[in-house]
Structure 1
């Protein structure tokens, strides 16, 4: 999680919580442990008018235990936002859950995504198309709210042609907005190499791409991909992003990304009722 993630999450929480009042309590418990720690450690992360503490298993920098959180609520002092890690906070938080306002995952990331889209300037449609296409990788999958948010932040920072790897798509060399054909080809390559649904070997899947590249380039790609077997597809895709020699553009698949582009229906009878030859 980088500074831009933190900035958009801070702004989203400020939008959702609004003005603070003495003794007010709000909490969220939808983030995994790593993201809870990242926000606790980010000194620039704050929500105007609200004190902030991560509720975990041990006290520390901007961290408190469940017992300490309950004491703070009962003191009814400053407005407080608790970032609760359910895996580490343990039991004893029912009073906070019943008395405080919960910010759930859906509203948090809807609001953060609105913030993250603002710098994209004309690229929102392309970003949305990439998200829709990524949800069909591996036959069918659902992106997490964090994945969508992380992708939008990455589009602003590094451009969509690299950022699509955050969604599991294959990176694409070039300038400007991606075309629908490029996006479809990216998905087709990712499906074959990162989301395999059959028992074919890596070499067989590479041959199926019909790469119009030198044999040594294809061999280098195979050697590069072998250690990535077994990794999460999104993690493997972000590693590919650091190797521009393997992006689409330098790699030249000669098969079509759209498996079936068009079906033309033709009558099997002639106009005089006879059969077509």
Structure 2
């Protein structure tokens, strides 16, 4: 059995101490980070290695984007893809010794206006998702786990108010449809909702809400999916809501799942 976690850290250099705290207190076997905002060579790996995370696969970018996989288990670099040809560090993959491939994604947020004609970033997000769909159609994944900040809350109970967020980027019908098409193309199973099928569930709370806990206007933007050949091995899903209350936190919290593989 191994445990995997995904967390948009919103600057790994600024919040290296929080990463180390999570590794000490929760000890996932694999931690996938997004929005690292650092070139690979400047990721503060010393503290992670001191805690037993000797295997690191990452793609970096100065000040923006960036994805990293920290692992206590041996992994090999399984490559990356420049989705939508944006030139962004938004995907990296690693292969475990048992052949399972871990994909770590940071899907574009999409800006503020859900209209590609007036907002280039929204169009980039839709193009990114379309290419994911096409890649999964062309080469259907097997024995794979896909995690990351997808920047989409697909279900009505993945947001604090379905009606009020229908025209807000991250929950618009067109985004949800694009994500669903990518999911269907790879036959991906949402492990979190397999384990926790009912009820409101969030992994992100805006910095704009002074008392995020009391207002609780959250969204489930962070996901753990698996291909159907291994999805039944997934269990133990949890969202670490208290992490949002740590000192100088990310606006996202870690999402966990375990796999008996």
Shorter-chain TM-score: what band? Answer: under 0.3
Structure number with higher relative contact order (C-alpha < 8 Å, ≥ 6 residues apart):
2
Who wins on radius of gyration, i.e. which is larger?
Answer: 1
The TM-score, its normalising length taken from structure 1, stands at 0.25
Higher helix share: 1
Higher strand share: 2
The TM-score, its normalising length taken from structure 2, stands at 0.27
